[in-house]
Structure 1
Amino acid sequence: MQTRLRNDIQKREQLVEELRLQSEIIANLAEGVYLGRADDGVIVFTNPAFEKMFGYGSGEMIGKHVSILNAPSDKHPEETAKEIRGILDKTGSWQGEINNIKKDGTPFWCYAHVSMFDHPVYGKVWVTAHIDITERKQAAAVLRESEERFRDLYENAPNAYLSIGVDGRIHRCNRRAGELLGFAVKELVAQQVLELYADTPHGKEEAAKVLERFRAGETVHDEELQMQKADGTPVWISLTMSAVRDSQRRIVESRSMVVDITGRKQAEEEIRKLNEDLEKRVLERTAELQKTINLMAGREVRMAELKKVIQKLREQVESAGMTPIGNDP
């Protein structure tokens, strides 16, 4: 009997020591930890990190319902707690992001891991570890907003943007690229880019040379090439192309900007034709003027010859003793 009693005392002392050690460990964890009774959701223990996280004093949360931890949303805090409790009853654990609220009403985000176990004092409890992820969520929101702005700029840019792999296939492109070439964006992805160039002196052949320069790591600036639309209509473009490299400095794809210069090239062609026409008209007019000059020069020669004849006749008249009538022409 005494041996049994002594063993019971030793087991109780061992249990107390284990509980004390566990309590000390939990109290010194960086994560916020609380225990809540499973039968009624009342908080029975909080460690200092948890109390500091939520802005409560030591022991101030004991005896309160766990719903005080949940920030109001489209669901009532008690409804959120009830949903989590339902999952715990079925699976024994729950984890995820949850919008909590501090004592002063400030909402903040936590990542929580909840599990159930039988506590020797409180019975079946939830043990929950909270990590404040507010800064991470805010950073993610800023990053997401930045990505959305970049995506909007990319998709709605006035110029076409394409990412082309070293194999010549299109990885990505924006909406303007599809509009420029008369394709849906999804139709352009995975296409061989050289197939989009025209069969003209400034088309496929020159584009293939540019692609080789890109593969060699050269940055291409304002290369004027001729592509063609889905319906075969030629379109002049100015291509700027640079390499995107991986961590090993290997080229993985291009960063390509395509500017539609068809209007400019058409204007240049019109100017060229006008210059040719003007030059032709100048040559024709010059020929006409030269002809007129030649005719006038011929008249002057004939007038000079006529004067000589008149002078000779005058001399003959005078030598015959006659007086010339009139003056020199």
Structure 2
Amino acid sequence: MTTTDAGQGHGHGVQAHGHRVGVLFSGRADRLLMAQFVEALGWCPLAPEPAEQDPAAWKDVDIVVCDEACAGRWRAELMALKQDSEAAYLPVLVALAGGRQAGPWLQAGFDDVLRLPVSRAELAARLGVFLRARDQALALARRGETMYRALVEQSLVGVYLFDDSGFLYVNDALAEIFGYRPEEMIGRLHPTDVTHPESYDTVREYTRQRLSGERDAVRYTLRGVRKDGSLIWCEVFGRRINYRDRPAIIGTLLDITQQVEAHEKLHEYAERLALLRDVDAAILRAESPQAIAGAVLERIRGLVPCQRASVVLFEADATDALVLGVHINGETEIGAGRRVPREHLAVKRMRQQPYAMVEDILKVEQPLVIETMLLEEGIRAYLSVSLQVEDDLVGLLNMGRRAPGPFSQQEIDIALEVANELAIAIRQAQLREQVQRHAEELEERVNERTEEMRRLVDLMAGREIRMAELKGVIAKLRAQLKAAGLEPVADDPLKAGLD
């Protein structure tokens, strides 16, 4: 490399700032001379010998100057170094001998060329321009990072960064979502540590796809576990990045538990409306109590999870009850059509409330007969709700489970609402059946009276025929008497009282 000594010193508007200048030259003399120039200008040269050159490892250089041979050899590494620069701007210059074309190098991504020979003053001026531009870019980047960090730290959205070793960063919002402090998660927990087992496979697969480069970004929903063990629903968005020479995932997380629960409640409410519509439709179709019970039992197990559901009907002045319908997995001894004494049922357990709940039949000191029968079929807990119209007890709606434990208040409320509609529907069906039976009985009596009247009419009609025949005989006799010269005793014996 050829240089001149014009403009020696640290002047020319460039002051020493401790900048690190990477020097990549294949020739020893040129490398040493460039390093001396850089050092004389107050900067710190990094000028390894060719066997030790590895620009990919330069993480803190501020500018790179290389000759044509090294530029060709290390082009990919230098472009990657520019891409990963903290300031998003790392100047890389190529020193070219006179007559060599600059265009191909500029098109290849290099920032500028130095024409050899170069004076120290020109070198100071050219490098100084690029270093000031980098300083400004670095200041902007750090200012932007400060603003970004402030925005992230104050955000209501959870922000995270993790790699295959675990969380590298979480903001306060994300830590709070899971009930931790940031320092309890960073470097200690992995995303799977706050994931419910039902979402493990999803999280692991999406993590693998992004860290391997198979996918860049993905959005999905997962079930999370808070520090206290409570469950939440989360919507996650994450993108693959290169962080400190390693693949990592950065993204955001939202707690959508309230939205999911609201959606579930809306779905449950829609199911309840569908069930009540079925009951109303059964009423409008004038179905029997058995058909109405069947329509309800088919849907109630979806609203109140259970393995057995039944409807029992109380009949007036009867000491036993009729099982109207049963919906169950498997066989049962207490099926539809069976009659059960009232004292065997859970009515006596209701006391002052419209339902009775037994959380575990095995723990009942004196089980009812029906409870013993349910236990034999594997039912451990049950809920029995009264079917009542005003003060009249119509029957019971029963739900049984194989696992012991209470029914939730929401499930009880659903059962009460359904039981109210079911009781009214059954009572109306009973009234229709009574009206129909009364109408049939009345029609039968009318038919009987009609038959009696028909027979009477027939009898009267027969009598009139006989009277007409008798009148004909009398008229003929009178004619014969007159022909014989005899006079009848009376003109009209029927009018005279003869019959």
* TM-score normalised by structure 2 residue count: 0.36
Of 269, 273, 277 in structure 1, the residue corresponding to residue 272 of structure 2 is: 277
Aligned position for 2:158:
160
1:185 Cα deviation from its structure 2 partner? 1.0
| Structure 1, unpaired ranges of 5+ | 1-23, 34-49, 55-93, 98-111, 115-128, 323-329
- Counterparts of 1:235 and 1:165, CA distance in 2: 23
Of 239, 242, 256 in structure 1, the residue corresponding to residue 251 of structure 2 is: 256
Change (3 A) 1:256 1:306: farther
Change (3 A) 1:113 1:270: same
Aligned position for 2:83:
none
Contact 2:224 2:231 in 1 (8 A): yes
Alignment RMSD = 3.8
Matches within 5 A, 1:286-301: 286=282, 287=292, 288=425, 290-291=429-430, 293-301=432-440
Matches within 5 A, 1:208-247: 208-216=204-212, 217-218=214-215, 221-245=218-242
Aligned position for 2:400:
none
Contact 2:10 2:42 in 1 (8 A): no
Instruction: For 2:458, give the aligned amino acid.
Output: S
Contact 2:233 2:255 in 1 (8 A): yes
Contact 1:220 1:239 in 2 (8 A): no
- Deviation track 1:54-83 (CA, whole Å, cap 9, x = no partner) reads 9xxxxxxxxxxxxxxxxxxxxxxxxxxxxx
Contact 2:10 2:16 in 1 (8 A): no
- Counterparts of 1:253 and 1:181, CA distance in 2: 21
- Counterparts of 1:265 and 1:299, CA distance in 2: 54
- Deviation track 1:192-246 (CA, whole Å, cap 9, x = no partner) reads 22111234xx343443344344445235644221111111121111122332247
Matches within 5 A, 1:104-183: 113=42, 135-167=133-165, 169-183=166-180
- Deviation track 1:130-150 (CA, whole Å, cap 9, x = no partner) reads 957654443333222222222
Instruction: For 1:211, give the aligned amino acid.
Output: T
Q: Does 1:187 align with 2:184?
A: yes
Change (3 A) 1:113 1:232: same
1:184 Cα deviation from its structure 2 partner? 1.1
Of 426, 434, 446 in structure 2, the residue corresponding to residue 307 of structure 1 is: 446
- Counterparts of 1:113 and 1:220, CA distance in 2: 45
1:292 Cα deviation from its structure 2 partner? 5.0
- Counterparts of 1:141 and 1:317, CA distance in 2: 122
Aligned position for 2:384:
none
Aligned position for 2:5:
25
Q: Larger Cα Rg: Structure 1 or Structure 2?
A: 2
Aligned position for 2:53:
none
- Counterparts of 2:222 and 2:162, CA distance in 1: 16
Instruction: Count the aligned residue pairs.
Output: 208
Change (3 A) 1:206 1:294: farther
1:293 Cα deviation from its structure 2 partner? 4.7
Change (3 A) 1:95 1:233: same
| Structure 2, unpaired ranges of 5+ | 19-40, 44-123, 283-291, 293-424, 462-499
- Deviation track 1:266-323 (CA, whole Å, cap 9, x = no partner) reads 112222332343344444553225555545544444444343223222212322329x
- Counterparts of 1:306 and 1:219, CA distance in 2: 86
Matches within 5 A, 1:11-160: 25-27=5-7, 33=11, 50=12, 53=13, 96=17, 113=42, 135-160=133-158
Contact 2:206 2:218 in 1 (8 A): no
Aligned position for 1:21:
none
Contact 1:164 1:256 in 2 (8 A): no
- Deviation track 1:244-275 (CA, whole Å, cap 9, x = no partner) reads 24799xx7111232111100111122223323
Instruction: For 2:207, give the aligned amino acid.
Output: L
Contact 1:197 1:226 in 2 (8 A): yes
Contact 1:203 1:226 in 2 (8 A): yes
* TM-score normalised by structure 1 residue count: 0.51
**SS of the counterpart of 1:320?**
helix
Aligned position for 2:375:
none
- Counterparts of 1:300 and 1:212, CA distance in 2: 75
Change (3 A) 1:206 1:26: closer
Change (3 A) 1:291 1:242: farther
Structure showing greater relative contact order (alpha-carbon pairs closer than 8 Å, 6 or more residues apart): 1
1:180 Cα deviation from its structure 2 partner? 0.7
Q: Does 1:207 align with 2:187?
A: no
Contact 2:175 2:185 in 1 (8 A): yes
Change (3 A) 1:221 1:301: farther
